Chains A and B, each alone.
Chain A
Amino acid sequence: MDEDLWGVPPVTFSFPVEWGKCREFALALLDEDPARPQAENEPSPSVLPMPPIMATCAFRYSPDNMPPSARLVERGLVDRARMLQGGLEFEFHRPIRSGEQLTVTDRLDRVHDKETSKGTLRFLEFETAFRSAEGDQVCTIRTTNIERRS
């Protein structure tokens, strides 16, 4: 089965860091409006910082609109009903701002099984890498999904 898992190729796509999406995320996360002018009669800031969590939704810009774990479910390689979200880890190599066009690559990074008193658990670790137009890696997300195997 592992060979099948590794047969799913990485997916690469473009992720435009949109000003309006940065604002929408900030508001949805209960921040004050980041687009509010700093002073009376001034325009809204033309550039907004990307809320950190927004990176996890980059897959919405992928051709299949799926996170990497869903691609395995779609191919019948993982049982969604037996899968739980484990950890989630972000690393920001530099700040990300609205207006940037990033290139994202999603891939399965590591699979390992662990025997527990409740049976076998399979840990599926995915890595999503974000690169700038210059090719520099600006952000990395590692997600772990746990599948109950028995």
Chain B
Amino acid sequence: MRAPSPFRVEDLIVGSTMPDRRVGPITQEHLIRFAGAGGDFNRFHYDAEFVHSRGFKGIFAQGLFTAGILGQTLTAWVGPDMLRKLKVRFAEPVWLGDELEFSAVVARAYTTTTGQAWADLDCAVRSGDQRQVLMGSATIGAVE
């Protein structure tokens, strides 16, 4: 079996895509584990009674949980040293039970003034029912 080629930003062109990643269904255990890592024990992420009292239909995930998986998915693809920028905006809640699909597509591929190959990506996270829960962008490439 042939070894996979190493990732190279130079090989990306506009329209190149990150391998899609699917995660889920999101469980309470996921959210508690993330709360423990980050130290954010906001009750919206584990206390159903509290959440209903505030008018929400159910427990929802920390925005940073979704953004964090996007970050890990990007670095798993390009390598941990290659993420230069990541920008996210949270569009909709991620509910318990949601399945998530992470995607990114190259919007611009270019060479920096110091000769490094960089690429700008449009990123998205969609739920199984096709709600866009996060939109964002990223820049990848070696440090200048």
Contacts and interface: CB of A to CB of B under 8 A. Distances in A.
A90 B70 CA distance: 13
B39 A53 contact: no
A91 B38 CA distance: 20
A29 interface: yes
A85 interface: yes
Contact of B85 (A31, A54, A60, A92): A92
Interface stretch (B1-9, B28-36, B45-53): B28-36
B14 interface: no
Interface stretch (A19-27, A35-43, A101-109, A117-125): A19-27
A92 B34 contact: no
Contacts, number: 87
A27 B39 CA distance: 15
A85 B63 contact: yes
B87 A29 contact: no
B48 to A, nearest CB: 20
A86 B85 contact: no
A60 B39 contact: yes
Nearest to B40: A57
Given A29-B68, A88-B67, A52 B86 contact: yes
A57 B38 contact: yes
Nearest to A97: B80
Contact of A29 (B63, B72, B86): B72
Contacts of A51: 68, 71-72, 75
A94 B64 CA distance: 21
B71 A92 contact: no
Contacts of B65: 28-29
Contacts of B39: 57, 60, 65
A85 B34 CA distance: 18
A75 interface: no
Given A29-B68, A85-B90, A92 B84 contact: yes
A49 B72 contact: no
